[in-house]
Structure 1
Amino acid sequence: MGRNLQNGERLRPVDLARRHGLSTQAVRNYEEAGILPTAGRTAHGYRTYTPLHARALGAFLALVPGHGHQTATSIMRAVNEGVVDEAFRLIDESHAQLLEDRRTLQAVESALRDLEPTPASEPDAAVSGPGGTFIGPLAGKLGIRSATLRKWERAGLVRPRRDPRTGYRVYDEADVRDARLAHQLRRGGYLLEQIAPLIAQVRAAGGLEPLETALRDWHGRLSARGRAMLAGAAELEAYLRDRG
Structure 2
Amino acid sequence: MRRADRLRPSDLAREHGLSAQAVRNYEDDGILPPAPRGDQGYRHYTPVHAQALRAFLALRPGFGHRGAAAILRAANAGDEDTVARLVDQGHAELLRDRATLDEVTAALAALDPAGDRPMSGAPTVGALAHQLGLHPATLRKWERAGILHAERDPATGYRRYPPAAVRDAHLARQLRRGGYPLARIARAVAAVREADGAGPLEEALSEWRSRLRRRSRAMLDGAAELAAYLRLRGL
Structures share a fold, TM > 0.5?
yes
Q: TM-score, normalised by structure 1?
A: 0.74
Identity %: 50
Given candidates 69, 85, 92, the residue that maps to 2:88 is 92
Q: Equivalents in 2 of 1:103, 1:7: separation in Å?
A: 52
Structure 2 counterpart of 1:32: 28
Q: TM-score, normalised by structure 2?
A: 0.76
Given candidates 7, 12, 16, the residue that maps to 1:16 is 12
> In the alignment, residue 239 of structure 1 is paired with which amino acid?
Y
1:180 Cα deviation (Å)?
3.3
More strand per residue: 1 or 2? 1
1:45 Cα deviation (Å)?
1.2
Task: Give SS of 1:41's match.
Answer: coil
Given candidates 164, 167, 174, the residue that maps to 1:177 is 164
Q: Equivalents in 1 of 2:125, 2:37: separation in Å?
A: 72
Q: Equivalents in 2 of 1:168, 1:19: separation in Å?
A: 62
1:117 Cα deviation (Å)?
3.5
Select the structure of larger CA radius of gyration: 1
1:176–1:202: structure 2 CA closer, same or farther, 3 Å change rule?
A: farther
Given candidates 221, 228, 235, the residue that maps to 2:211 is 221
1:40 Cα deviation (Å)?
1.7
CA contact (8 A) 1:115 1:181 kept: no
Q: Equivalents in 2 of 1:68, 1:146: separation in Å?
A: 35
Q: Equivalents in 2 of 1:102, 1:88: separation in Å?
A: 21
1:27 Cα deviation (Å)?
0.6
CA contact (8 A) 2:36 2:43 kept: yes
Q: How does 1:1-244 map to 2 (within 5 A)?
A: 8-117=4-113, 124-126=115-117, 134-138=118-122, 148-149=127-128, 154=136, 155-156=138-139, 158-162=148-152, 167=157, 176-180=163-167, 182=169, 194-195=173-174, 197=176, 202-205=185-188, 206-208=190-192, 209-244=199-234
Task: Give SS of 2:5's match.
Answer: coil
CA contact (8 A) 1:135 1:149 kept: no
Question: What RMSD, in angstroms, separates the aligned Cα atoms of the two structures?
Answer: 3.2
Q: Equivalents in 2 of 1:194, 1:150: separation in Å?
A: 10
1:212 Cα deviation (Å)?
1.5
**Structure 2: stretches of 5+ with no match in the other structure:** 143-147, 193-198
Task: Deviation per CA, 1:72-93: give whole Å up to 9, x if none.
Answer: 1110010011111101101111
1:41–1:168: structure 2 CA closer, same or farther, 3 Å change rule?
A: closer
**Structure 1: stretches of 5+ with no match in the other structure:** 119-123, 127-133, 140-144, 186-192
Task: Give SS of 1:40's match.
Answer: coil
CA contact (8 A) 1:52 1:239 kept: yes
